[in-house]
Amino acid sequence: MNHQQILPVDNLTELMEFVLLGFVAMPHFQWFLFGLFLIIYTIILMSNGTIFLITKMDSALQSPMYFFLANFSFLEICYVSTTLPRMLMNLGNQRRTISLGASAAQMCFVLIFGSTECLLLALMAYDRHVTICNPLHYPLVMNHRVCIQLVTGSWTTGIQVMIVQTYQIFSLPFCGSNQINHFFCDIFPILKLACGDTFVNETLVYTVAMLFVMVPFLLILGSYSKIISNILKLPSATSRAKAFSTCSSHLMVVVLFFGSAIITYLRPNTRHSEGTDKVLSLFYTVLTPMFNPMIHSLRNKDVIIALRKLLCK
């Protein structure tokens, strides 16, 4: 909680822009970091774009699992494009200022895409649950119309909530320092710059995080507990290995994304360390989008075959 005393109105200086410090504490590595993140951004765009392309073009990849994977890959491109281009610009020209409107827009899109990712990961777990636990009902339960409705719901559910949350945060008065010790406009670094009591805003942040992070995560855990229980009942070791292989790639992405997001948004504010927050943010904003295509392609024979077809063409 921010315990700063509310200043008299006459003493408030309305801030029109913030300064994203990013990795300013590493002055000798600015160009190295610029090159590194540029390579990472290129890899994310090309790899996720390729996954999206082959799932749309290859007739063998038209099942609901690959429909969700295509949407997830497209989402990763959108998600990373809200943070990395600005970071690269700051590293390249050392002009770290960002207007109030641009920072609000960046936060809003990060929250919308982040909440959508949580819901999509939960849908992918549900898809695997139906595949393994109710295979006979799978074509009926996960028909194309249902898949479109589920994905549309994932993309649209969090929009209104995240717009309201962003509006409430940026309705606060900001005074004094305008330096954000982060590489993008995240919630807690922004709240630290607000004047007055931010208890209501922090309560809303934790409530939304519970709804869009913890609830999907618990649903995923519930799905996988039933999946593992059913896999262990399979008589053939080959069938068990194949089933585990189908789920393991998704589970790796879940652990990487939800692990870092839960620690960032659901631990007490008093334990927030700016350095730790930056490292954790890299996991769910950069590393997950980069590793997602690698994890799904390297562990999936159908995707590898589709990639070979695309390369041959």
Instruction: Give the residue with greater pLDDT, 101 vs 268.
Output: 101
Which residue type occupies 228?
I
φ, ψ at 231 (rounded to 5°): -65, -40
Is residue 275 predicted with pLDDT exceeding 90? no
Is residue 313 predicted with pLDDT exceeding 50? yes
pLDDT band at residue 3 using 50, 70 and 90 as cut-offs: very low
φ, ψ at 261 (rounded to 5°): -70, -40
Q: State residue 295's pLDDT score.
A: 83
- Cβ atoms of 221 and 233 closer than 8 Å: no
* C-alpha–C-alpha distance, residues 206 and 97, integer Å: 28
pLDDT band at residue 242 using 50, 70 and 90 as cut-offs: confident
Is residue 7 predicted with pLDDT exceeding 60? no
In 56-207 the beta strands, taken as DSSP E runs, fall at 97-99, 179-180
Is residue 165 predicted with pLDDT exceeding 50? yes
φ, ψ at 180 (rounded to 5°): -100, 115
pLDDT band at residue 276 using 50, 70 and 90 as cut-offs: confident
- Structure tokens of 246? 């189908």
pLDDT per position as a tens digit, 15-71: 788 999 988 888 888 999 999 999 999 999 999 999 999 999 888 889 999 999 999
In the chain, what are the domains? 15-312 (1.20.1070.10)
- Which candidate, 216, 214, 169, places its Cα nearest to that of 194? 169
Q: State residue 166's pLDDT score.
A: 96
Q: State residue 299's pLDDT score.
A: 67
Is residue 11 predicted with pLDDT exceeding 80? no
- Cβ atoms of 253 and 51 closer than 8 Å: no
* C-alpha–C-alpha distance, residues 30 and 33, integer Å: 5
Rounded to 10°, the helix 144-170/199-209 angle is: 170
- Cβ atoms of 182 and 278 closer than 8 Å: yes
* C-alpha–C-alpha distance, residues 55 and 306, integer Å: 8
Q: State residue 4's pLDDT score.
A: 44
pLDDT band at residue 14 using 50, 70 and 90 as cut-offs: low
